[in-house]
Structure 1
Amino acid sequence: MQPKPPYKLYIIDFFSKIPWIIVGAFTAAISLEVILIPNGLIDGGITGISMMLSEILGLSLSSLLLLLNIPFVLLGYIHLGKRFAFSTMLGIIALTLSTGFLEVFPPFLFGSSILLVFIGAILLGLGIGIVLRNGGALDGTDVLAILISRKTSYSVGESIFIINIFIFILAFLMFGLMGAIVSIITYFIATIVVDIVRT
């Protein structure tokens, strides 16, 4: 039996990653819509900005996620290639559709327990990590973090956390000190999970 040509192996590898990108996006959407948003917690990056704008302006989170991430998809296309840009766009669209789908259902998990924070953080980190591991991203800051990690000694997870410091300052202004602190802890846990899953 003759070995498959390289381009066929490339196509098979590429399409085998698409379901995982969708799974990762849906996992992150569950964290956002079921745990973080209903409990006044905020994500980092473009997702966090979208969450705050959604709260302030009353606009759909799913629509904001798509619109605000488009420039970063273009940045990924320029610096990281067409495959990465396509995978990232797929991840963002999957996240947008997933959050739009979950927005329809009333939230059912409430509270400020440490367990809830851990579950939300682990699901978020798991979702982001799965998508990154399979060649895409779910957020514009993930694209920036990948570029930073290639130029510095920081990991992708550490880069994501550093980029998002200012997001949590805004979270402090919007949600108060306790909400900001819990959001930081949640996202810090998520970034650790991102690095574990990605590697």
Structure 2
Amino acid sequence: MKFKNSYKIYFLDLLMKIPWIISGAIMAAISLEVILIPNGLIDGGITGVSMILSEILGYSLSVLLFILNIPFVLLGYIFLGKRFAFTTSLGITVLTISTGILEVFPPFLKGNSILLIFIGALLLGMGIGIVIRNGGALDGTDVLALLISDKTSYTVGESIFAINIFIFLFAFILFGWKGALISIITYFIATTIVDIVRT
């Protein structure tokens, strides 16, 4: 009886978190496809790598997001458990589907204004933070950052930012110093928001 009750509580808790994970993933997708990408900005992590490859090779961002994140979902399964692997798979799947849908529509928010960039960073940080707070992740580097955060004194946001320095070096080559610099500032704001939301 005690086992059944604990299983029921576990299941209900997971069920309560699923809508938040879906919402966070959609927020991140809107930030990427509606604000960041149309304005020549780049995200960090596997998402950033996917954006670079999409720009260079012309492949769909949503497809690259899904494929490149698979090894990190497996890593999460090994070190963080089945539940984390499930919630992360859910987040990445929703992110993939959402970006795929938004890719179809032409960009309508362009201009590189400071306010627009701040809104994009805010949406991205909130989306990632909400998903992490509810036991999942949206990006392979989020998984690494959670592992680093568990073993060191670095926060998840600090770990994410440190891991992604090399991504922005590629952004410098691809988008020039201005695009790379604005991307770094945007991502710094986003990772700061991640730490605020998840705690």
TM-score (norm. length: structure 2): 0.98
In the alignment, the residues of structure 2 paired with residue 22 and residue 106 of structure 1 have an alpha-carbon distance, to the nearest angstrom, of 23
Q: What is the match of residue 18 of structure 1?
A: 18
Q: Which amino acid aligns with 1:37?
A: I
* Amino acid paired to 1:36: L
- The answer on 1:98 being equivalent to 2:98 is yes
Query: What CA deviation, in whole Å up to 9, does each residue of 1:169-198 have, x standing for no partner?
Result: 000010000000000000000001000100
Amino acid at match of 2:142: D
Q: How high is the sequence identity, in percent, across the aligned residues?
A: 78
2:118, 2:82 → 1: CA distance? 35
Uncovered stretches (5+) of structure 1, i.e. residues with no partner = none
Give 1:93 deviation, angstroms. Answer: 0.3
CA offset digits 1:54-86 (Å, max 9, x no partner): 000000000000000000000000000000001
Name the structure 2 match of 1:187. 187
How many angstroms apart in 2 are the aligned matches of 1:142 and 1:97? 19
Aligned-partner Cα distance in 1 for 2:54–2:15: 33
3-state SS in 2 of match to 1:5: helix
1:1-199 alignment runs, 5 A limit:
5-199=5-199
Q: TM-score, normalised by structure 1?
A: 0.98
Name whichever of 107-116 and 186-195 sits farther off.
107-116
Moved over 2 A (4+): none
Cα distance in 2 between the residues matched to 1:75 and 1:6:
27
Instruction: Tell me the secondary structure at the aligned position of residue 52 of structure 2.
Output: helix
**What is the alpha-carbon distance in structure 2 between the residues aligned to residue 192 and residue 165 of structure 1?**
15
- C-alpha distance in 2 between matches for 1:157 and 1:163: 10
Residue identity in the other structure for 1:150: D
Q: CA RMSD in A?
A: 1.0
* Aligned-partner Cα distance in 1 for 2:145–2:111: 31
Cα distance in 2 between the residues matched to 1:101 and 1:24: 16
Q: 2:10, 2:33 → 1: CA distance? A: 35
What amino acid is the match of 1:59? Y
Distance (Å, rounded) in 1 between the aligned partners of 2:170 and 2:19:
34
Alpha-carbon shift at residue 129 of structure 1 (Å): 0.4
Unaligned runs of 5+ residues in structure 2 are none
Measured after TM superposition, the shift of residue 6 of structure 1 is: 1.1
Opposite residue 183 of structure 2, the aligned amino acid is S
Give, in angstroms, the shift of residue 5 of structure 1.
1.0
- Secondary structure of 2:108's counterpart equals coil
Distance 2:165 2:57 in 1: 23
Partner deviation per Cα, 1:105-157 (whole Å, 9 max, x = no partner): 11100112110110000000000001000000000000000000011100000
